[in-house]
Amino acid sequence: METLYIKVDENNPEIEKIRLAAEIIKRGGLVAFPTETVYGLGANALDEESAVKIYRAKNRPQDNPLIVHIQEVKELSLLAKNVPAKAYELIEKFWPGPLTIIFEKSDRVPYKTTGGLDTVAVRMPDHAVARLLIRESGVPIAAPSANLSGKPSPTNAQDVMEDMKGRIDAVIDGGHSKFGVESTVLDLTGNVPVILRPGGVTREELKEVLGHVHLEENVKEGEKPRSPGLKYRHYSPRAEVYLVVGDKKEQVKKIKELALEFEKKGLKVGILATAQTRGEYLQGNVLSAGDRDAPLTISSNLFSLLRRFDRMGMDIILAEGIPEKGLGLAVMNRLKRASGYKIISV
């Protein structure tokens, strides 16, 4: 199929272009669109067949549920039941924004959308293009990240096209995603709120509202996670990623050593450094992710840099770890998983 490329003004989206994309959603097609976190691959969340098309386009396992996107709080009652009071406090504070909340699902939501679960993940994106697309489509939009399953999520329309050209009906180009990592997934169906995936809304921010919040630890091979998506290979570029954590100076020393070792074997090595350490690497293919003291600068670049290393033909990527504070927690979660847990502590 031909993938229609629709360029819009991200601050002031042209309504006729949004309507063109909305028509595709209404007809049961697939449209990739920008959000403040990453690009999503959208389809009508209430239509089984549309949801099935998403799984096919991404090569996604059918038990990995989709997030349903809405643009007004009142749409929540269509999708969820027994919404707890504390959800409304969170919604008040963080919607629209990068927080996905898990609820008991209503009968209107097909099991194909929720990967067979009795719960549904809902979020309201903070992006003019996404909000207008949902409004003009007249239905909630199910949207996973718009990458092939296993790959780093796309944060711009070119990265969507790299994976999805010919597999989906259209992509709306609305510029670069602000956060660059996905939304925080929070499960409110149990007694204690659980962060299933750290993301754009930080653990510290959630604690301010909820008091206590549990962080689901990374699930290893063979264990059964509460969030089905956690068990699959994820965020992986073609290159093999090693994550080096610990004191900054020691990280640099270790990465230089490893780079030499791999290069001796004839492998091409990319180094994912930070603004603070960039200048210390004298050879190699070094890219700076951003400022260690401002993790948003790193999160917003992370996935696009992993893809860039692939385009540069790297075999190995050596990545520096950053402190797991604020958005740093989400950054480190993605890097750990991209590395397949090949983590070297120094």
Could you say which of Mg ion, ligand TXA, none residue 67 binds, taking C-beta under 5 to 8 angstroms by partner kind?
A: ligand TXA
Query: What is the spatial distance between Cα 92 and Cα 260, in angstroms, rounded to a whole number?
Result: 52
CA angle 203, 143, 111 (to 5 degrees): 100
Does residue 110 bind ligand TXA (CB under 6 A)? Answer: no
User: For strand 316-320 and strand 269-273, is the pairing parallel, antiparallel, or unpaired?
Assistant: parallel
Q: Which of 44, 137, 156, 227 touches ligand TXA (CB under 6 A)?
A: 227
Which one of ligand TXA, Mg ion, none is in contact with 113 (Cβ closer than 5 to 8 A by kind)? none
Q: Please choose, out of 95-103, 283-291, 301-309, 313-321, the segment that lies near ligand TXA by the rule CB under 6 A.
A: 95-103
Of the pair 254, 337, the CB lying nearest ligand TXA is at 337
* Contact (CB, 8 A) for 285 and 306: no
Give the whole-angstrom CA distance, residue 75 versus residue 91.
Answer: 13
Could you please report the per-residue DSSP string of 120-185?
EEEE----HHHHHHHHHHTS-EE--BSS-TTSPPPSSHHHHHHHHTTTSSEEEE----SS-S-PEE
Q: Report 230-259 residues binding ligand TXA (CB under 6 A).
A: none
Taking the C-alpha atoms of residue 149 and residue 275, their distance in angstroms, rounded to an integer, is 30
Residue 245's Cβ-side half-sphere holds a number of Cα atoms within 13 Å equal to 17
Choose, by CB under 6 A, the member of 24, 51, 121, 129 that binds ligand TXA: 121
Position of minimal CB gap to ligand TXA? 229
Residue ranges in 145-174 that form contacts with ligand TXA under rule CB under 6 A: 145
Instruction: Provide, rounded to whole angstroms, the least separation between the CB of residue 220 and Mg ion.
Output: 19
Which residues form the interface with ligand TXA (CB under 6 A)? 35, 37-38, 40, 64-67, 98, 100, 102, 114, 117, 119-121, 123, 125, 143-145, 182-183, 185, 196-197, 227-229
